[in-house]
Structure 1
């Protein structure tokens, strides 16, 4: 039994009249009758009681009518689901991101994507760059927001934003009353750095900029993530060099100061596998780039 035969059977079973069923199906009555007879032969069961003035369903026909409606309904639902998946309107996306991305562009990208594709399930996982790289390689992630980028010949990298580095200092820091901080004026500053491993990492970018300007980097406090680093700064363990977007969110015990002279810049990128052709990812990347272009 194929779907064409089942469609013909359902039309006759619902109309209980071969002529009306043939008209509904837009075919001639003789081919319809032959199809029903062939179906009965294949199934080994009579589906209709054929009288002179009317036809009725046999027990086998009633059962097939019930099951056939369910089968066709499931088939239609499946076709719709597959079509919507193909259009990128349903499905899932697994997104990894460095913690600092949540202070800037990432929330706006997620909001914009959800507005356009509300039926797509989003899984959001914070990771450092090393974790993002491993997860993309193993296909545990579909998209990765990295700082500055993930270097791999199998990845596509799309730059999103570039922002200055600023200083997070305790709110009782002697220099916290101003709006800027000259790092070279500090005597052996205690630098709170993240992540501690694996290396190289964002911390090495910061250390490289400091070394280039002759800033003393001998005193270091290591931690694994941005949130812990900011907590350590808030209790007076040192200062932390962070992306400028982090300073847009106020936090008790902290002040964010512009660094003068400027220490350097950091960038955020969105990365995905070169062999990934899914429409979900293409749609997400387009929205991410659109949001980044409209950022002030």
Structure 2
């Protein structure tokens, strides 16, 4: 089993599609990627994923394998970085994680704040799902992470950076596109998608919002990330609730509308391990106001 097999497996699991993973993440062909996944399954000895009308779905064995595959890749990258650091002059190093997309608005401010005080700092960046970032913080693979609150964070401390409103996302020619805002009851009979468990905070916010509104939604499918959401909404002509900052990723064929009435929200936090006493961390925490002022 080679690291590339693990990278391919994780990419397909995240994308929910062999085609999307091959073309947009791995720069390879779909038949070649399929062969690599089959080779991995043969090596492991069980089926890890299967095709369905909804795309690629992980088997129970695949779901169990996924977390270990992610950690193996993280550890391999850490080993590589440790080897490189061993032959380089010592300088301050700070590892920062972002939920995918948040770095676009926050990184310029973070980079300026840190380099103003630590000119020679080596900033290591990663972009992942919030649960993966939490695990990396717990294992001290990251110094800080811009992420969503997680349910099990006993050893982590955090400060709120901002609160992101959720907005309805759907095709631009949808019947609801003529409205300036949308009430929950108006989507009762629509094809509706919810975030998968890879984004538990957003998932909880969406489900709780409809529960409070008294709307019994029956989600057609779950989506794993913004790219998957765009693909599913476009192909199935459905809709879903997503954080407002994701609007910058949408093609012209899709649009957003705010929620009418009580708006569901999710917090973006800056989290770190409680045992981390780094002066670089203290500096970043002291600048939380500047970070909160960065455009979403």
Instruction: Give TM-score scaled by structure 2 length.
Output: 0.61
1:108-257 pair list within 5 angstroms: 108-113=108-113, 116=116, 117-148=118-149, 151-194=152-195, 196-197=196-197, 200-247=200-247, 251-257=251-257
Aligned mates of 1:161, 1:112 — CA distance in 2: 19
Tell me if the contact between 1:146 and 1:271 (Cα under 8 Å) persists in the aligned partners.
yes
Alpha-carbon spacing, 1:109–1:151, altered in 2? closer, same or farther (3 Å): farther
Three-state SS of the structure 1 residue aligned to 2:94 is strand
Tell me the alpha carbon deviations over residues 59-118 of structure 1, each in whole angstroms, 9 at most, x when there is no partner: xxxxxxxxxxxxxxxxxxxxxx77xxxxxxx52222122225246x42343343365245
Instruction: Give TM-score scaled by structure 1 length.
Output: 0.61
Tell me the alpha carbon deviations over residues 193-214 of structure 1, each in whole angstroms, 9 at most, x when there is no partner: 22x2358442122111111102
Alpha-carbon spacing, 1:112–1:180, altered in 2? closer, same or farther (3 Å): farther
Tell me the alpha carbon deviations over residues 202-259 of structure 1, each in whole angstroms, 9 at most, x when there is no partner: 2122111111102231133212223321332234441121122223555332111111
Alignment-derived partner of residue 93 in structure 1: 94
Aligned mates of 1:178, 1:141 — CA distance in 2: 43
Aligned mates of 1:227, 1:148 — CA distance in 2: 22
Shift of 1:295: 5.7
Aligned mates of 1:210, 1:251 — CA distance in 2: 27
Alpha-carbon spacing, 1:283–1:115, altered in 2? closer, same or farther (3 Å): same
Aligned CA-pair RMSD: 2.7
Aligned mates of 1:254, 1:114 — CA distance in 2: 37
Q: How many correspondences in the alignment?
A: 207
Alignment-derived partner of residue 39 in structure 2: none
Alpha-carbon spacing, 1:159–1:199, altered in 2? closer, same or farther (3 Å): closer
Unaligned runs of 5+ in 2: 1-88
Alignment-derived partner of residue 271 in structure 1: 271
Tell me if the contact between 2:129 and 2:199 (Cα under 8 Å) persists in the aligned partners.
no
Aligned mates of 2:248, 2:229 — CA distance in 1: 17
Tell me if the contact between 2:199 and 2:224 (Cα under 8 Å) persists in the aligned partners.
no
Aligned mates of 1:259, 1:99 — CA distance in 2: 23
Tell me if the contact between 2:130 and 2:199 (Cα under 8 Å) persists in the aligned partners.
no
